[in-house]
Amino acid sequence: MATHKPTTDPRQLWTFLGLLALVAGIFGYAVLPYLDPARGPSAGTVAPDFSLSLISKDGEAGRVQLSDYRGHPVVLDFWASWCGPCRAQAPIIDRVSKQMESAGVRTIGVNTGDQLEPARAFIESAQLTYPSVFDTTGEVARAFGANQLPTLVLIDAEGNIVSVESRIISESELTAELQKLLGAS
C-alpha cells in the first residue's frame, strides 16, 4: 500500500489557495446574491400579496389587499414621511396616478419605517389622492425588496412584477412605463 507523503513545495500551497479563492469568488458573485433575504422578487415573478391598514385623515378603519387589484396594473410607492426623496416623488406619483386612473392603473402608497401621525400629516399636507397603507413591521417592504426609499414597483394586470426601481422617477418616465405596460396587456 502506498503511503502519502506531505509536500513541502510552497508552489502547491499557493496553487491550492489560489483555486480556493477562485471558487469562493465565483460562489460569492454567482450564488450569494440569490440567497440574500433582503432581496425582493424580481421582474417576471408574482407579486407577494398583502393586506394592510389604510391611512386615513379621520382615522376610519379600512384595509387594502393587493390581490383585490388583480385585473389592473398597479403602482406601489414605498415611502416614509421623513424621506426627502419620497417627499419629492409623491407629487409626481399623484399626478401620474390621476392621469392614468381612467386607463385602469391603480396606485397604492406603502408607508414603511415611519410613525402613523407623521405619515397621516404628510398625506394631508401633500394632498395625495391615492390610497396609502401603513406597513407597521416593514414586512411588506422586505417582501418587495424595498430596503431603500423611495422604491417604486410596477405590477401588471395579472399580478406579475414588471419593475422595481429604488430612486426618484420622473413624471415622463413613469408615464411612459405605464403606457408601455398598458399596451402590453
Q: What is the pLDDT of residues 56-82, one digit of tens each?
A: 766 566 899 999 999 999 999 999 999
β-bridge pairing 63-65 and 161-165: unpaired
Q: What is the pLDDT of residues 85-144, one digit of tens each?
A: 999 999 999 999 999 999 999 999 999 999 999 999 999 999 999 999 999 999 999 999
Domain coordinates in residue numbering, the chain: 11-37, 51-184
Return the half-sphere exposure (C-beta side, CA atoms, 13 A cut-off) of residue 150.
23
- Determine the Cα–Cα distance for residues 78 and 74; give it in Å rounded to an integer: 13
Phi, then psi, of 154 in degrees rounded to 5: -105, 130
- Sheet bearing 151-155, strands edge to edge: 63-65, 51-54, 132-135, 106-112, 74-79, 151-155, 161-165
Q: Bridge-partner residues for 155, per DSSP?
A: 74, 161
159: nearest Cα among 25, 44, 40, 33: 44
Q: What is the pLDDT of residues 22-63, one digit of tens each?
A: 777 776 655 544 444 445 666 778 999 999 999 976 656 689
- Determine the Cα–Cα distance for residues 33 and 164; give it in Å rounded to an integer: 16
- Cα–Cα distances in angstroms (integers) from residue 21 to residues 6, 9, 24, 29, 109, in the given order: 22, 19, 5, 12, 45
Query: Is the whole-model pTM more than 0.85?
Result: no
- CB crowding 2-27: b at 16 or more within 10 Å, else e: eeeeeeeeeeeeeeeeeeeeeeeeee
Sign of CA pseudo-dihedral 157, 61, 166, 24: negative
Architecture of the domain spanning 51-184: 3-Layer(aba) Sandwich (3.40)
